[in-house]
Structure 1
Amino acid sequence: MKKNEEILISNSLVKKLKSKMKIPIECTIETNNKGTVSWSRPIKSLKDKEDFQESILDLERRNIVEESKSLWLNPVQLVRKKNGKLRFCIDLRRVNDLVDQDCFEIPRIQELLSSLHGKKLFTGIDLEDGFFQIPIKESDREKTTFYTGKRLMQFKRMPQGFKNSPAIFQRVMHLVLKDLIGTCCLVYIDDILVFVKDRKEHDENLKKVLERIEEYGLKENTEKRAECQERIKFLGYEIGHDEVKPSLNRAQGIIDYQIPKTKKELQRFLGMINYDRLFIKDLSSMLKPLYALTGKEAKFTMGKIEKDIFFKIKDQWSKNLSLIIPDPKKPFTLETDASNVGIGGVLRQEGKPVAYVSRILNKAEQNYGITEKETLAALWAMEKLQYLLLGNRFTLITDHFATEQIKSKIDFGSSRIQRWFHRFERFNFDIEYRKGETLVVSDALNRALYISKDGVAKRVSKGDSIMEYHKKKESSKSY
């Protein structure tokens, strides 16, 4: 009896060890024989030093770091979390400079979200200490060496701060979940979203995903699992009922943000709102005066214009911002527009916004004629939203008469537009011309105004065709 028990225990242990060894990829840090890196910076705070030593002991117990005798050396970065706990990572910038970029593609968040139409229930799975679950090739571990103040240590597991860590982990997850991705789950690095149409399907799909994770010896942080939710937080968004909204916490952070007093504070604000740019019309053109203040040579002064823009943006986030998750079987409409400042568009389905896109024109583009600008707006918006538009027939709506002629390939007298024609050919679309007064402007650019020689803003008369109007030699427009 005892012998049989030993056999059972032995078989169980072998099975467990085998599953632990099934992670199909290890992290390599190939520096192409470009030399070693050795630099450091001291930890000054006594409290930080004390907590740092405790963190190292914890990582050592978990077999994530080990002692090193390497000639390599990287500085340590310490950050206090909101709960007061210390978080540390190593500064691998100089090592990263020696390493080629891993080109495995990280999915675009908006492409992931757009695939969730019709899904009713969701479960979010978070992998515990994601990157630390991937082993580093033994000969490359020395390149992660850091000094604790007492010992040299190096990572045995893939660290934060290595530039290829996200791509490597994404590749691992694609190999682990392979056939399940897109059919019952989505993966963004170490975040997994299981999606279904009903409760029965939910339990089946969740079981498939969890079994696959266990099979490869990966560990889930079960405390963070959000199971069978009609609305769920995923990648900084709230998803449910075929609708996407910005995270409430992030929106509140923008609403509560104080008027920036330095360039750094303004850059932080711009970074916060950039994450949700698909929710706001005309964002690029609206932000241009604020971005102008962040230039190296720019004098930082938040004047009345800049403050008005700042508060206008905050007001946008106080509203109930949302976009629909589109139905791929239903038609899209794309409204595009251009001004002297920027270009952009709004993609709609059944009149509801799917995405807003916009960008500022560079100096060369600002010198384009109006037909070139409007054509560029249409082309850029199509290519920006190609993950939704390619393979689907849609309608391009424009208020510029010449743009309506894109598909006829008539000679506009512009070699630039002629060169763009082949890029339009990838898309299957009809063009609908609407007069400016009947079209809801995608970027609210008030394009029916222009500046006359006396500097007074005037509106184009309804009787004038846009083509005829733009033959006039007025020098500029006002928006």
Structure 2
Amino acid sequence: MPIPTELADMKKQIEYLLAKGLIRPSTSPYSAPVLFTPKSDGSLRMCIDYRALNKQTIRKKCPIPRIDDLLDHLRGATVFSKLDLRSGYWQIRMADNYIHKTAFRTRYGSYEYLVMPFGLTNAPATFQAEMNHILCPLLDECVVVYVDDILIYSTTREQHLKDLEEFLTLCDQHRLITKGSKKQVVFDQMKTFLMTPPVLRIANPDRPYELITDASDIAVCALLLQEFGEGLQPIAYDSRELQGAERNYPVHDKEMLAIVNAFKTWRCYLSGADATL
């Protein structure tokens, strides 16, 4: 049973969603329950539990990009703008024949989404595919996208202003709305905490790598480095817990497992590259 504070928040959020035209009253036989999670400011976020619907959903085949792959594209860039889209998923409308499946039940009635809600199993892949389509002219040239987080990168301030103009033009053409409160333009350096050693450097495929691995009774770890003129600098860190029978391995097998795990994790860097272990 919802507590009074949850009911107050639920009513307020439903009224907001109705006023914005994001939901409508529903008579659908589908009926997902509502949950609440705390937000950083102490308020409550209303979430729809679509687990039952997701079990019946055919997964969309659109891979979410790897963070390390995206970071590789930033080599040489010195100027960055980070943006995310305002309520990103809500900027995609639901297909008419699927709207009834998004229905959820509350004390104040049943409603269904007219836009793509959070919690659907295919929402991240659908959104990523749409962003890749819209931003395709700039993708991997001056823009990388991770779901609703967008980074524009350039080698100079002058070029960055041109890249931003192209990006915002695409947003206007496709009616994408960005969060003004989260826009960040950083010239020549990243935020101060990112400049505190040891700073992760962007890999240079023309330079050799140095790999350091280790193993303990419960975990394996690895560090990938390159020389950048001021000594070896870290490119990436990796670690994981040992699972099941792995904890019974003798010491030398655990050490070998750490090496194998590192090469699997960083095969995009180490395959065919000059590396020292």
Fold conserved between structures, TM > 0.5: yes
User: Distance between the aligned counterparts of 1:342 and 1:145, measured in 2?
Assistant: 44
Query: Which residue is 2:116 aligned to?
Result: 158
SS in 2 for 1:56: helix
Report the Cα offset of residue 365 of structure 1: 3.5
CA contact (8 A) 1:202 1:228 kept: no
Q: Spell out the pairing of 1:307-456 with structure 2 (5 A cutoff).
A: 321-338=198-215, 341-350=218-227, 351-368=232-249, 372-391=253-272, 393-397=273-277
User: Distance between the aligned counterparts of 1:130 and 1:92, measured in 2?
Assistant: 18
Query: Which residue is 1:140 aligned to?
Result: 98
User: Distance between the aligned counterparts of 2:184 and 2:18, measured in 1?
Assistant: 30
User: Distance between the aligned counterparts of 1:48 and 1:112, measured in 2?
Assistant: 39
User: Distance between the aligned counterparts of 1:372 and 1:147, measured in 2?
Assistant: 54
Residues 356, 82 of structure 1: CA spacing in aligned structure 2 closer, same or farther, 3 A cutoff?
A: closer
Q: Which has the larger radius of gyration?
A: 1
Query: Which residue is 1:221 aligned to?
Result: 179
Query: Which residue is 2:23 aligned to?
Result: 65
User: Distance between the aligned counterparts of 1:80 and 1:369, measured in 2?
Assistant: 45
CA contact (8 A) 1:103 1:167 kept: yes
Report the Cα offset of residue 367 of structure 1: 4.9
Total equivalences in the alignment: 273
CA contact (8 A) 1:53 1:148 kept: no
Report the Cα offset of residue 369 of structure 1: 5.5
CA contact (8 A) 1:334 1:394 kept: no
SS in 1 for 2:136: helix
Listed as ranges, the gaps of 5+ residues in structure 1 are 1-41, 246-319, 398-479
Q: Deviations over 1:163-204 (max 9, x none)?
A: 221111111100011131111011011111100111110011
Counterpart check, 1:194 vs 2:152: yes
Residues 354, 52 of structure 1: CA spacing in aligned structure 2 closer, same or farther, 3 A cutoff?
A: same
CA contact (8 A) 2:216 2:254 kept: yes
User: Distance between the aligned counterparts of 2:152 and 2:34, measured in 1?
Assistant: 36
Letter in 2 for 1:213: C
User: Distance between the aligned counterparts of 2:151 and 2:249, measured in 1?
Assistant: 45
CA contact (8 A) 2:215 2:221 kept: yes
Residues 339, 86 of structure 1: CA spacing in aligned structure 2 closer, same or farther, 3 A cutoff?
A: closer
Q: Deviations over 1:240-298 (max 9, x none)?
A: xxx6x7xxxxxxxxxxxxxxxxxxxxxxxxxxxxxxxxxxxxxxxxxxxxxxxxxxxxx
Query: Which residue is 1:107 aligned to?
Result: 65
Residues 83, 359 of structure 1: CA spacing in aligned structure 2 closer, same or farther, 3 A cutoff?
A: closer
Residues 238, 387 of structure 1: CA spacing in aligned structure 2 closer, same or farther, 3 A cutoff?
A: farther
Greater share of strand residues, 1 or 2?
2
Residues 77, 369 of structure 1: CA spacing in aligned structure 2 closer, same or farther, 3 A cutoff?
A: closer
Query: Which residue is 1:175 aligned to?
Result: 133
User: Distance between the aligned counterparts of 2:43 and 2:188, measured in 1?
Assistant: 33
Query: Which residue is 1:91 aligned to?
Result: 49
User: Distance between the aligned counterparts of 1:88 and 1:52, measured in 2?
Assistant: 7
Query: Which residue is 1:280 aligned to?
Result: none
Report the Cα offset of residue 321 of structure 1: 5.0
CA contact (8 A) 1:89 1:159 kept: no
Report the Cα offset of residue 147 of structure 1: 2.5
Q: Deviations over 1:406-430 (max 9, x none)?
A: xxxxxxxxxxxxxxxxxxxxxxxxx
User: Distance between the aligned counterparts of 2:239 and 2:40, measured in 1?
Assistant: 35
User: Distance between the aligned counterparts of 1:352 and 1:79, measured in 2?
Assistant: 40
CA contact (8 A) 1:231 1:238 kept: no
Residues 141, 375 of structure 1: CA spacing in aligned structure 2 closer, same or farther, 3 A cutoff?
A: same
Report the Cα offset of residue 146 of structure 1: 1.7
Letter in 1 for 2:180: T
Bigger relative CO (Cα 8 Å, ≥ 6 apart): 2
Aligned-residue sequence identity (percent) comes to 32
Counterpart check, 1:44 vs 2:3: yes
Letter in 1 for 2:106: T
Letter in 1 for 2:225: R
Residues 364, 77 of structure 1: CA spacing in aligned structure 2 closer, same or farther, 3 A cutoff?
A: closer
Listed as ranges, the gaps of 5+ residues in structure 2 are none
Q: Deviations over 1:318-348 (max 9, x none)?
A: xx55322222322211123445544332211
Query: Which residue is 1:447 aligned to?
Result: none
Report the Cα offset of residue 111 of structure 1: 2.6
User: Distance between the aligned counterparts of 1:209 and 1:328, measured in 2?
Assistant: 28
Query: Which residue is 2:78 aligned to?
Result: 120
User: Distance between the aligned counterparts of 1:340 and 1:81, measured in 2?
Assistant: 38
Letter in 1 for 2:61: C
